[in-house]
């Protein structure tokens, strides 16, 4: 018997309309765990670099994490993996909510879609019964609207639905997959779902998920719950409220937005408003939130409440979480009420809450600067807020200028030309980033921005404090019960770290220390993504309940696979390297690994070079960021180096043009 996982994937060929239930190889679980890990392996085996995001051979994989469906608190992530139309690299966006455990209870670990359906369809997975059904009546419907209609149509109020809106149907490069409470939105995976002609996947499952050593597993879970209680009662002192507790940043609960509104950039990631937050704004925004917010809500099997139901007068109710609370507000230089209003429409359309507002602000900047003209904006209203709503409508329908903008700022700038690229200034690997512009280089963040392959800073940062406390006493206080560290040396690094002077940024933590810190931070995210754990209880916050010391025990007790810290670290390194291998094969090189030019004002080119050189070596990659044959061999990934040799990957030298494709090849 397989424990924690079901041992079966659903393989669905949309071109032929065939559905297969395929047993998986338990050895793959040992090597790559599950979720992201096994997704990376499948993508490597079956999606060669010649396959574009929108070719029928591209796969769209909905995976549950290895421990989803077990009683492990907060283990509910769906990891969606495909080739991104925007970055042309491997995308592995995730969503919380309720979908992944439901799929497990239906008896499957993954749903793997290939081919393209000629007509819009939806999938109905009800335990052993799996059907491809007509969705023509859902064309153009909102993502959440679709979910409600399907639950009613199927008379299954307990079914969980992952669906796309208009943006996905029209292959907007930053289209999301929505699930009511949560969404998988980075990298344009919703566009791939739309391209495949799939409007929604509806799941209902009523089967058991077994664990190998029940008593031990429950004890571990109870320890986690108790620690969550402890952490909820004992927030970390001396840090911003959103960093003090557990969970995703508590944006729905917290009203004090001084830090975000004065430190993050407004407009097209342009303007810093240092004195923005005052009593008047605070009162207005708090009132808005109180009026709009009906309830704080959680994901499956989690006591935290990171999301909220938002209900504005005259608008349909929707659910929101995290920072999308402010991204539209700040891009439009408007207020919270507007932000919550447009986010409702954006959620139904199904677009990413980071990219979409930035693309719109970018368009208006181009207009103000005469790069785009009146002709491009024919019919656009005068009012600033109305303009954002108008632009959103054009983009998701790919009408007029919206068709260009729907490809994101990088590709739009390329197509528009005329100096537009200077305005697409906040991308990494062609993907819009958080609107942050800071003064002095942070070496830890430098490495994370460069090498993060989820291409989103929140999906690699965490665990290690973002800045040192001013006094040694405070730092001593913090390290006292910091048992989550993988090695005692991290405590010393923090103790010695000063806000000013010799042991301060950017030269302290030293290059080697930065490598260790970033590696630890990244590793925890990768483990979460394979197990299906929410980063909000693990890799993201300070002092989380899940860590490198209890994870191996969870895996052993859950799956019956013998696991220890060393073996887990190696497994995580293995599939992390496989993610990179997929991207290297698609042309990603050192030249792509850089933060936005203007992310920091004060840069240190020599130090930056040393950081990247050293980190690449530390990771077992050559100076161009390619995993070396030796390091691949250590990980049992000789099949990767063989492929690299065959494709001449090792022959490209630093700075040489890679196999990057042009903007036009994606436009069909």
Partner 1 sequence: MWRRQNMKGEKKKKIVKSIRIDVDKCNGCMACEVVCSAFHASPKYSSNNPARSRIRVIRDPIADIYVPVYAGEYAVAECAGRDKYTIDGKEYDECAFCRASCPSRDLFKEPDSGLPLKCDMCSSDPTLEKPLCVQWCLNDALIYEEREEEVEDEPTVDDLEIGLESLANQYGLDKLTDIITRMSASKKG
- Contact string 598-627 vs ligand SF4 (x = CB under 6 A): ------------------------------
SS3 81: strand
Complex with partner 1: residue 133 or 305, whichever CB lies closer: 305
Asked if residue 186 lies in contact with residue 417, where contact means CB atoms within 8 angstroms, the answer is no
Asked if residue 637 lies in contact with residue 581, where contact means CB atoms within 8 angstroms, the answer is yes
Asked if residue 218 binds partner 1 (CB under 8 A), the reply is: yes
Query: Which of 298, 355, 521, 559 contacts ligand SF4 by CB under 6 A?
Result: 298
Asked if residue 545 binds partner 1 (CB under 8 A), the reply is: no
Q: Report which of 438, 419, 420, 181 is spatially closest to residue 319, judged by C-alpha positions.
A: 181
Asked if residue 94 binds ligand SF4 (CB under 6 A), the reply is: no
Asked if residue 299 binds ligand SF4 (CB under 6 A), the reply is: yes
Complex with partner 1: residue 91 or 95, whichever CB lies closer: 95
Complex with ligand SF4: residue 514 or 534, whichever CB lies closer: 534
Number of other CB atoms surrounding residue 210 within 10 Å? 16
Instruction: Using the structure block, give the residue that is written with the tokens 């490209």.
Output: 652
Asked if residue 633 binds partner 1 (CB under 8 A), the reply is: no
- Can you read off the two tokens belonging to residue 134? 């007509």
- Minimum CB separation from ligand SF4 for residue 275, in Å? 32
Query: Which of 302, 524, 572, 579 contacts ligand SF4 by CB under 6 A?
Result: 302
- Minimum CB separation from partner 1 for residue 294, in Å? 5
Asked if residue 223 binds partner 1 (CB under 8 A), the reply is: no
Query: Which of 266, 318, 349, 551 contacts partner 1 by CB under 8 A?
Result: 318
Q: How far apart are the first and last CA of the chain?
A: 47
Asked if residue 76 binds ligand SF4 (CB under 6 A), the reply is: yes
- Minimum CB separation from partner 1 for residue 101, in Å? 8
- Can you read off the two tokens belonging to residue 196? 């495949």
SS3 47: coil
Instruction: Fill in the DSSP letter of residue 294.
Output: E
Asked if residue 495 binds partner 1 (CB under 8 A), the reply is: no
- Minimum CB separation from partner 1 for residue 65, in Å? 15
Number of other CB atoms surrounding residue 212 within 10 Å? 17
For CA atoms 505, 510, 511, 513, the dihedral sign is: negative
- Can you read off the two tokens belonging to residue 376? 């491009």
Asked if residue 459 binds ligand SF4 (CB under 6 A), the reply is: no
- Minimum CB separation from ligand SF4 for residue 215, in Å? 17
- Minimum CB separation from ligand SF4 for residue 178, in Å? 15
Rounded CA-CA distance 328/311 in Å is 17
Q: Report which of 231, 221, 99, 113 is spatially closest to residue 160, judged by C-alpha positions.
A: 99
Rounded CA-CA distance 111/82 in Å is 12
- Minimum CB separation from partner 1 for residue 306, in Å? 10
Asked if residue 235 binds partner 1 (CB under 8 A), the reply is: no
- Minimum CB separation from ligand SF4 for residue 76, in Å? 6
Rounded CA-CA distance 414/38 in Å is 35
β-strands 438-440, 600-602: how paired? parallel
Q: Report which of 68, 122, 128, 125 is spatially closest to residue 98, judged by C-alpha positions.
A: 68
Asked if residue 304 binds ligand SF4 (CB under 6 A), the reply is: yes
What part of residues 225-264 is at the interface with ligand SF4 (CB under 6 A)?
Answer: 247-248
Asked if residue 536 binds ligand SF4 (CB under 6 A), the reply is: yes
Give the largest Cα separation in the chain, rounded: 68
566 CB-side CA count, 13 A: 0
- Tell me whether residue 215 is exposed, middle or buried, using C-beta atoms within 10 angstroms of its C-beta: 0 to 12, 13 to 18, 19 or more: exposed
- Contact string 570-609 vs partner 1 (x = CB under 8 A): ----------------------------------------
Query: Which of 135, 224, 228, 416 contacts partner 1 by CB under 8 A?
Result: 228
- Minimum CB separation from ligand SF4 for residue 616, in Å? 32
Asked if residue 306 binds ligand SF4 (CB under 6 A), the reply is: yes
Instruction: Using the structure block, give the residue that is written with the tokens 């008047």.
Output: 280
Positions touching ligand SF4 (CB under 6 A) are: 74, 76, 96, 247-248, 298-299, 302, 304, 306, 534, 536-537
Positions touching partner 1 (CB under 8 A) are: 69-71, 73, 98, 105, 144, 148, 157, 180-181, 205-211, 214-215, 217-218, 225, 228-229, 232, 294-303, 305, 309, 311, 316-319
């Amino acid at each position: 018997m397989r424990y924690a996982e079901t041992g079966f994937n659903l393989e669905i060929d949309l071109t032929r309309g065939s559905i297969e239930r395929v047993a998986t190889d338990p050895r793959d679980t040992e090597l790559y765990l599950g979720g992201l890990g096994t997704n990376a392996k499948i993508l490597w085996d079956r999606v060669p670099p010649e396959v574009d995001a929108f070719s029928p051979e591209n796969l769209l994989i909905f995976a549950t994490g290895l421990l989803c469906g077990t009683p492990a608190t907060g283990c509910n992530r769906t990891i969606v993996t495909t080739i991104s139309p925007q970055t042309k690299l491997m995308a592995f966006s995730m969503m919380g909510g309720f979908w992944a455990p439901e799929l497990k209870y239906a008896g499957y670990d993954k749903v793997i879609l290939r081919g393209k359906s000629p007509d819009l369809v939806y999938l109905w997975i009800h335990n052993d019964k799996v059907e491809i059904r007509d969705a023509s009546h859902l064309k153009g419907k909102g993502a959440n609207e679709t979910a409600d209609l399907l639950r009613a149509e199927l008379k299954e109020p307990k079914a969980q639905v992952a669906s796309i809106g208009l943006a996905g149907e029209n292959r907007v490069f930053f289209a999301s997959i929505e699930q009511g409470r949560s969404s998988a939105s980075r990298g344009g995976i919703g566009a791939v779902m739309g391209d495949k002609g799939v409007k929604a996947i509806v799941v209902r499952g009523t089967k058991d998920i077994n664990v190998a050593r029940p008593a031990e597993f429950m004890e571990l879970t109870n320890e986690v719950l108790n620690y969550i209680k402890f952490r909820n009662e004992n927030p970390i002192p001396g840090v911003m409220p959103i960093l003090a507790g557990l969970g995703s940043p508590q944006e729905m609960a917290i009203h004090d937005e001084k830090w975000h509104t004065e430190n993050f950039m407004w407009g097209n990631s342009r303007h810093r408003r240092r004195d923005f937050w005052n009593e008047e704004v605070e009162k207005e925004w708090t009132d808005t939130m109180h009026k709009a917010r009906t309830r704080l809500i959680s994901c499956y099997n989690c006591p935290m409440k990171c999301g909220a139901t938002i209900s504005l007068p005259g608008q349909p109710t929707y659910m929101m979480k995290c920072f999308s609370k402010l991204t539209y507000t700040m891009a439009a230089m408007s207020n919270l009420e507007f932000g919550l209003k447009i986010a409702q429409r954006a959620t139904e359309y199904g677009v990413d809450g980071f990219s979409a507002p930035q693309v719109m602000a970018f368009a208006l900047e181009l207009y103000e600067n005469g790069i785009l003209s009146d002709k491009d904006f024919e019919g656009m209203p005068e009012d600033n807020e109305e303009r954002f709503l108008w632009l959103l409508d054009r983009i998701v329908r790919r009408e007029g200028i919206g068709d260009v903008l729907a490809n994101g700022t990088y590709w739009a700038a390329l197509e528009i030309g005329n100096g537009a690229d200077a305005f697409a200034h906040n991308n990494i690997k062609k993907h819009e980033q958080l609107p942050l512009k800071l003064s002095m280089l942070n070496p830890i963040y430098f490495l994370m921005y460069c090498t993060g392959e989820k291409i989103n800073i929140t999906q690699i940062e965490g665990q290690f404090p973002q800045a040192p406390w001013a006094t040694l006493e405070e730092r001593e206080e913090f390290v006292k019960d910091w048992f989550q560290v993988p090695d005692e040396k991290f405590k010393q690094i923090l103790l010695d770290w000063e806000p000013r002077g010799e042991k301060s940024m950017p030269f302290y933590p030293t290059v080697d220390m930065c490598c260790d810190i970033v590696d630890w931070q990244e590793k925890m995210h990768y483990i979460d993504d394979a197990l299906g754990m929410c980063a909000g209880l693990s890799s993201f916050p300070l002092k989380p309940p899940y860590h490198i010391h209890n994870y191996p025990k969870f895996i052993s007790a859950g799956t019956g696979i013998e696991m220890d810290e060393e073996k887990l670290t190696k497994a995580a390194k293995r599939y992390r390297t496989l993610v990179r291998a997929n991207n290297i094969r698609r042309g990603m090189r050192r030249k792509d690994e850089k933060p936005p030019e203007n992310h920091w004002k004060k840069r240190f080119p020599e130090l930056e070079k040393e950081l990247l050189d050293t980190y690449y070596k530390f990771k077992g990659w050559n100076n161009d960021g390619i995993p070396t044959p030796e390091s691949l061999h250590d990980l049992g990934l000789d099949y990767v180096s063989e492929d690299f040799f065959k494709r001449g990957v090792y022959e490209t030298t630093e700075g040489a043009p890679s196999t990057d494709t042009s903007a036009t090849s994606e436009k069909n």
